[in-house]
A and B are shown apart, each in its own frame.
Chain A
Amino acid sequence: MITNHLTITLSYLLITFLPVTPFGTPFNILMLLLAIWHGVMVYKKNTGVKNSLLNIIAILGIAITVISINITNTVELFVALMLLACQLKVLQATTNRQWQQIHVLNFFTIPSVFLFSQSLYVALMVMMLLGINLVAMLQLQHRASLAYSGKFTLSTVLLSMALSILLLIFMPKLPAFWQMPGPTLAKTGLTEDVDPFNIVKLAKSDELAFRAIFSDGSQPQINTPLYWRAIIHDKFDGNQWRMSNLQNVSSNLTANSNQPPYKIIAQASNLPWLYALEHAISPTKAVNNNYFGTLFRTDKITSTFEYQVQPANARQQVHMPNWQYRFYTTLPEQLNPKTQALAKQWDLSSTTTKQFIDLMQLYFVTQAFSYTLTPDVTNSEHKVDQFLFEYKNGFCGHYASSVAILLRSAGIPARLVSGYLGAEYNNQLGYFSVYQYDAHAWVEYYVPNEGWKVLDPTAWVSPDRLLGSLSEHQTLAGEFQQNLGLSLVAWSDFKAVNWLRLQLEQLDYQWTRWVLNFDQQKQASLLQALFGAKGKQWVGALVILIISVVLTLLFFYVKRAQQVKEALAIKRYRQLIGLSKKNLSAAPPKRAVDELIQQFTDHREMLQQFYADFAANRYQGKSFGKNQNKHAKNLINSIKTKAKR
């Protein structure tokens, strides 16, 4: 029994240390210490910590939790406090009643992980922990054996799984009554302000960013670079590239009817910015497009979100208005003098923008610039100067921002774009996966009469970065894998590991597509396919009716089944005392059985066994099953035959 209590503590510990629950190190250490304390108590067979001591720990614990988690992250804070409270309750508990409270509370505490992630793995883990909780509950409250409670739990979980699939598919989807504020995420590939010069090491995350699904035959060519635009940075303040407020202003663009639409399932990013190739608009509700032709949502993306993308025509602009021209060529004047001088020099020796760019490319290629994820950090205020003339190494952010500054210095309108480059294509199911490590930055510059053009200076330094995803990049493989650490992508050189990774990825795709994003629209089309346009309206009501009828019947069936089982123990008991020479109907069971033992001394052990079964059934709520019934029948027959002789 006492080891069950430890499994509860272990499940809290598991939740605390889960990568998706970012509670912070002090809180994790606190939970670990409390768990160790409970472990020692279990080992020493102590129970129940004094309330006064617990209160002090609780106050300290709250302080540590608030320090560990920023007070503005309310969701994380409340989940953490709930975990802490549960753990303290475990330490305090001595009576069955207190344990009962803990077990019931766990049905609320454990699924709170879903606030942070709803992935397949988290769902499986939550199901496992709930199963363990159910087993512990059965063992404690019904004193059931491990085998029995395990079996019971399994059947309950299977039944509820069947029910939830039924509910998922047929239950009418209602709009949410209220929404939780989303927990803030630690890792993301996109940032709203690009400041590459202060980054020592670009920690690449192998988390999924989004998936794109194209209708058959319209997939982009695998060997063309896919630039997924997300954020346009058009202001440079000397340190970093920032967004202007044009980023989240809706604008009208015309759809490009030559290109078919496609779907994107975005993972939670806690940013409102969405992804699309080139210029795009979207028919999906709550998705708007801005002046730049990138998509954004009115609120932050806190859970996986599916939307339609319709390619659009870029705004035709023959001449840039004067204010816009000034805006796109603005630079802090006193910063980076060498860079500005270099740009002026190139500007004098070139007549077209094309020539200017060629000169830039020549410089980058001949001056032996290199691509690295661990660049030197600048210490000067003239960051670009130091990068261009001294260090000459960096990642996409360095190249994009210095080229944009060079362009602006020469009076060519330029802006920085961040988004993702490349995608991994899944052959079997035909979709593209884009990961956080595919995050990229490039430049767009303006040519009069032609409009905005894409320029990726990183390609000059590292041409193969353009093709496919970073995971397929040959020359950077070593450095890339070092940065990823222990994840399956890092081992993708081994065929078996890569195969496994793709299978898991596919499973997760199906889960996201069919479970997490099974929305009103998908349900409606499924129901229509199954029952026709007329039938689908009635299905919802019918399903609710059927489910309530089934549950009511189940309730009465279970109740009746218990009664039948109970009656069996009493029936056998009555038969037994009927065999006695005395009238034992007024004696309580123990006394009656003791009396029987005196009369039938040969059957002492069998009678004692029967009483044990009877007491277990009548007083402890255990079942009087087949084995017990068989034993009782044997006992009765044995006594009868003995009496006949």
Chain B
Amino acid sequence: MSHPIKKITHQLSHIIFGKEQQIKLAVCCLLCRGHLLIEDLPGMGKTTLSHGLADVLGLSYQRVQFTSDLLPADVIGSAIFNSTEHKFTFHAGPVFSQVLLGDEINRASPKTQSALLEAMEERQVTVDGVSHPLPEPFFVIATQNPIHQSGTHPLPESQLDRFFMRISLGYPSEDAERKLILGSKQNQRLEVSKVIDIEELFSLQTQAKNVTLAESVLDYILALVKYTRHSGLFTDPLSPRASIALGRAARTWALMDERDFATQDDVQAVFGSIAAHRLNIPCHLQEQAISDILNEVVIPL
């Protein structure tokens, strides 16, 4: 339990039962300084996980419930007229926190969704021509309902690409669900405690950069990306941003396994959550498509 990453995943396993892989992926995403999208049906523990992540890293967070009538100013803030000083002053919105929890992001109108774009990529917000930098670190953890549900606006591809990873929790196992029923108290959030501070988080991010990415692993990433581009099976192949993400995630995954070199196994482990939401394939075909790609592409040794 000495390794800080082990501590994080251990803490989170107290609130989300039997989903070690998804928890690890979510932690991996945050260690890569990436934004996380959690997609699932209502009531699967999306919000619990996102709160838990913010708590365990000890980061300040604000939650925004996205609705169809939510306006951009409600997220990023706005300039309000100060009648005593006779000028406009900027009032920071909920986006000015280390973690922004965007619940049901695809219920908001495309205009509001796009307002998040600049914040996520540039890590700053521009209102009335004045740029306001966001705190460091800055993560967006958003949850969304599957697209086919009523009253949803699908996120545009450009916005999806800005999410480093997308994970879905899925139904819990029978054992886990049994524990859930017995353990849950009405209207009470399960508590997790902060296990690492920001200094440690930064140091882990630096360590991840030092993980060796061997030539053969690099070749594998390139082969995977190339396959999505040249096989003709995908309308939206993977972008260079996706291949950079694959490299970073593979390194971090290796670090989480307490290794200082990444392997092709690490690439396979993170490939699904990095590639699936960027390839623009129907929901029910995604899992099959990812495993097809992994089976099809020859692993360079």
Contacts and interface: CB of A to CB of B under 8 A. Distances in A.
B258 to A, nearest CB: 13
A620 interface: yes
Of B217, B295, B301, the most chain A CB neighbours within 10 A belong to B301
Interface stretch (B51-59, B240-248, B260-268): B260-268
A457 to B, nearest CB: 74
Interface stretch (B99-107, B133-141, B207-215, B276-284): B207-215
Contact of A591 (B214, B265, B298, B301): B265
Contact of B206 (A94, A570, A574, A589): A94
Interface size class of A (residues with CB under 8 A): 10 to 19
Interface string B204-229: 00100110101011000000000000
A619 interface: yes
B163 to A, nearest CB: 25
B231 to A, nearest CB: 16
B301 A96 contact: no
A570 B261 contact: no
A570 B216 CA distance: 11
B213 to A, nearest CB: 8
Residue among B217, B260, B263, B295 with the highest chain A CB neighbour number at 10 A:
B263
A346 interface: no
Contact of A586 (B214, B262, B267, B295): B295
A430 interface: no
B260 to A, nearest CB: 8
Contacts of A591: 265, 268
Given A570-B301, A586-B295, A586-B299, A620 B265 contact: no
Interface in B230-264: 260-264
A144 to B, nearest CB: 13
Interface string A63-74: 000000000000
Given A588-B264, A590-B263, A618 B206 contact: no
A619 B261 CA distance: 6
Nearest to B220: A588
Given A589-B264, A619-B262, A95 B209 contact: yes
A618 B265 contact: no
Contacts of B263: 588-590, 615, 618-619
Contact of B299 (A95, A588, A620, A621): A588
A264 to B, nearest CB: 57
Interface in A77-114: 94-97
A618 B301 contact: yes
Interface string A310-346: 0000000000000000000000000000000000000
A509 interface: no
A262 interface: no
A95 B267 CA distance: 23
Interface string B73-103: 0000000000000000000000000000000
A573 B206 contact: no
Contact of A95 (B210, B261, B262, B268): B210
Contacts of B217: 619
Given A95-B209, A618-B301, A588 B214 contact: no
Nearest to B213: A619
A94 B210 CA distance: 10
B265 A589 contact: yes
Interface in A110-158: none
A620 B301 contact: no
B110 to A, nearest CB: 39
A204 B206 CA distance: 56
Interface string B159-194: 000000000000000000000000000000000000
A95 B210 CA distance: 6
Interface string A27-44: 000000000000000000
12 contacts: A573-B301, A586-B298, A587-B299, A589-B263, A589-B265, A590-B265, A615-B263, A619-B214, A619-B216, A619-B262, A621-B212, A621-B214
Given A589-B265, A589-B301, 10 more contacts: A95-B209, A96-B210, A586-B295, A586-B298, A588-B263, A588-B264, A615-B263, A619-B212, A619-B217, A620-B260
Interface of B: 206, 209-210, 212, 214, 216-217, 260-265, 267-268, 294-295, 298-299, 301
